[in-house]
Structure 1
């Protein structure tokens, strides 16, 4: 039976993941092999003692087959672990090369580390490396890590020598420096009593590091680059005999290499890297450097260090010379001072008074304890957990994602509503953003932050021009601070449950806040390209919530247009000319080589569609008829209608541009573009299953239709999750009927609005009848054919949300009771002045429209221009004056002026 258990564990371990961990418990194993639990536990523990199994002492205790796990995942360092996270963390520590441990390897030194790896792995003997940087910036430490990396990559042997020489020590004696490097023969100079090999000989098959190499004389540089060329050198005093050595060279200097070294020497240095100073490093890297030195002192003193946050802050932000080396010495001094004060205690407290009183060391004014979760940082000696030290800001962000995961699990278990979940997460995001913006734990003048802000500013400007992304200073500042503080930190990396939940959260965001997620993707993708930095899925989630909280206006979802033409700049020229003439960036261009294939063209268009919303339609203006084959290729991939016109020319692009400026729908553009017989146009619709939709319309315009959409969406809740609720232009529906584009794109179930467009076969539900309750059952009957729901709950939602007061509360920024009272009084005045009696339907429509009108005027929003307004006033001027008189009290109360355009809309409601 023991064999059966082992075979079961082998098979299970092959498919191991943190999500199926329960199948490795004694209870599950006993059930699988048909033994009682106590017998199974006995076999498992015996196999663990024999070294066959890994034991993880969680509840329940779980067992993994060691050999299978090591073969398919990674080799564990031991057999017993206290938690699964402890085992999984070894996956990252076991496989990392020494350069990965260099602070900044994934940040400010990322490019430099890649250059170093290229130099070390270059065939044969690698490439010489020059490290430039201020004194104390870490050049010597980096050289040592390069040696360890070379050993790790097995390009040199484990026992390969690493020799170091500071050339500055011999600046006044160039002959002695030369003899140390190359060696000498007996009699080469006074005191040379025997032959002696130099550092090149001693470093054979290893690495020689020459610090302050700018101290070499011109002659010394020449000798060195001769060796770099040939691998040969001569001992001092005997130029006739050449020696051979296989040495990898690393140089370091604090000087400007262009003015210090011979050009012939520089030409032999293919890899020159620059280390930033301490203050040029991002805040997170400065903190990690400070932490690393305190951890080192904790090990040396064999004491737990409790370091005041003010001390850490002072070291991070003080201005001094000496760079990282100076900080290291300051920390050593402070820890020594605290130790001398209390040698007996196992815990040592380092305070600001333990730092030396130097003029160059001063804390910055913007330090505030409100930025800290605790007043100290704790460093434990010889502890594996010390690598988990994080900044307060990262801890707060990590706690946000822990809360997010917990709340999302409650949402999936139907313990929370979607609305509550989103509102709570937005509240948490805003609180964090406010804290970061108003209490930033760093100076906004830092070069790294300024660099990030510049690129975010440029990216948001691009988003504004291309996606209608409103730009403002706070938005820019908040996103910049978030990305700067998290510094590409991998949150909850050892939490297997989070990795799985994270995907489901993004899927939820795609359904619930599609627009904000789409904008966040575009924003981070653009930043990624500019900064050459990959962003995390956590960034996408956090920024999506933040953008959703801003209640951004709808992304410009107008018809998009792409010009495709063969030639070096044919498409670009036409697009640029027309964009400049129309003063709007309407056209994108694809310049194509003559030998491009249709597959390549299709891929370019699909890439464009991934980055731009094309649900409203996409126009392709092409220069050759063969490209019309694109329609058959794209028909199953497009999300909106596609119009292809061939034989593109600048006049044609200009004509299309004028139509786009009029905000016409794609089918209208298709009808309005008149082409001669040689030019062909083709309009195609997506060949996918059409989504079901309810259209909302209002005679007085899109503003009220949008409000109806929001109220209906809120009322339907889960019932409407698979329905498209779309505000639509009443006049277009009335005129086009079923020929309208909406009927090509959607399966229209019903129209809900304030006026019936009279479309045959499409049920109409009047808003006034919803408010009176007369057509609630009709709407529910329509919905019942496509969804299952609680009738009583939905009826309650509809009746509650479609009350006139509730609608106005959704419409206006003002007090609903007050504005309704004033509007009712105005309508009563109107009936009296005009000597008319309005039916309930018209009164309702006037109430709705007038409340919307007040809000619109206060927000300085304009109604559409009416080209025939003068002719209208000439005929109906007296009635317009009467309406103006009836609404005079509203003008006085809200200090607004109702324009003749608005008064005409009221008149049209009255007179049908």
Structure 2
């Protein structure tokens, strides 16, 4: 028997054996057919699709894709009543990516325009080329049909005004029609698009290309519902139509004012660059899925590729994004065919040059770090699978990994909880938050048997837990039980290493979850793993209501030194999460502390909604500011130092569903150094890690400086930022995968790798850093070769928030004052003093406690005149930056000048 016949026979057998079930669940998955036929899922899927093309089998797209033979479909679903019971009516707008985020206001305006009596309000869509205006207009048309505003049999009538822009006569004829003899060649009377759009919607793309006379004829139609065909002079024709126009131009300059005023509703469609990163990720995933369907082969897409498409400058917006993904898939397909591979692997080498360029961008490092929060692994698409975020699978995989390292376990436990909360609070809510507009038939998705079990589970939860459960727990449980059954039947098992933690944190939920597992065993006739209960306990916990946390989120305030440091982090976080909960406070370096403390206090008061404020700061001084604000206002404030963009994103993401103490603990834990900074004591290397706060250009210069210093090509130099990102490539450093122990860390950030010494740039230039490097690398001698003219650039290597040009200018003024007072400074003293003073100012601003130096009094008494001279010179920088240099540092500088 041919395999295809075997597949069809298996499909028919399933239909015979499940006559009752088939009434509730249309068809069978490729996996079910594969099990019945005793072949692989891949082969079953391929044969089923061939049978679909042959017209023998009917395919239902969804999650998962289902198949049924045409014979059984006609037997069971031939009556309209039967089909209507299975119908799913979905709001057309909900299929638009961003419908509940960046496009929410636009969609609300569109709904209002269509619902307005008697036949809707004329609407103008404004947005750049490729932003999706035509697609949006089609969704408006579908929505109008859904609510009965226009007939189900109506067609979407569309016209691009640019097609006839250079021939106004033909354009008007195409739009309004013409009578015989209206112009040369008009041998017969012809109707126009306006006739076709009667009692429907007329979409006019590039409406700004309509000539003035065309605009005048159109607004007469909009005002009166009447028009004339080209050449007509007597009488008017009537037409009831809603006009949707679209333009890329400024309507004020490209449309007649009288015409523009005829559009009561103007909707702006944002460009791709204005869309949140979360939406871009969904678009990229959807477009790759579509290509997998077209090509008919599975795709494996490298993380670099995904990140590049999310982050690159896509001038042509969504239209260009689709084309670039098609070009990439075409190139990868060619390589797969050339190499005799069925699966298509898409790597960075397949990217178009303008997309690949983002991987080498000087400023892409932080952006890639943010994407890493949302995307850690490559994507895999089966050619037949409908698109969905396989969050459940990700959590299963996460929990199934065994880790001995305590920090890693804590981190993964936290991530699993977070993933689950996000999935059930966002994905499931997406289905039910518009109940009046979305009628979802759960039976059609997961089957009557699973839905019945889920209903019983809800009863068990309500009977045994004293807390109120979210109403959306039913679909959450139903989908989870369905996924659990599919995984077990596929031979997958789960082992949860966090069972003890769940027993401790969720004892009541775990008890109820065990009852559910017993019910599942009995009803599904499957061996359910015991650890499944721990996962169910997490699910139940994530659906317990916490109204206060939703209605009164924790305030998030970011306070940093610099003109835009805090604002930049907050803007990025709010854009990614699609929120406005975080508030930035930028404190200029030369600001008046009293004035800005008052400003900071007012911002914290504004941020507090009643559940306290999480204050994220970059230096110690602001810790004391937070304490002062808390004391004066009575607001509960938790303070966390060393803020970075990743922390702000995490805080904004969790602020709406966690209490202040829990949120603080999460962010404190999130701020721990990454687990990949783990080294093997026995694996030595000749590597120096160079850490830098700024971008690629500065990192490259630092690398050159150190290379000149050590003059040994065998020493490996790796430039990293605080998050373990290789500054030169913008990607996660491969070095740590080897777990080799570096010789030392040199630069402006201590990565705190156990047992690895840190040499700051201040030590390198001012202290004994040279000798320490020489000793660690077994070198005879190292010398820093730097000239005074290079100091200003060198300052960029380790200044966190001070402007290198400004501080260099102040240091130069101090050195000139010292020279004028009689100090004869050598070149190396000028260099070292400039570097030391720059570091000193940052340490003072950061609130470092300097303490008292034992030699302080001795230096003051021995060098009284010099002390006064140095103090006077230092007052230049004290006045300018509103700081006070401690006596211990004055003593240190005096000693250096007199004895160094």
TM, length-normalised to structure 1: 0.40
> Larger RCO: Structure 1 or Structure 2 (Cα < 8 Å, ≥ 6 residues apart)?
2
TM, length-normalised to structure 2: 0.40
Q: Name the larger-Rg structure.
A: 1
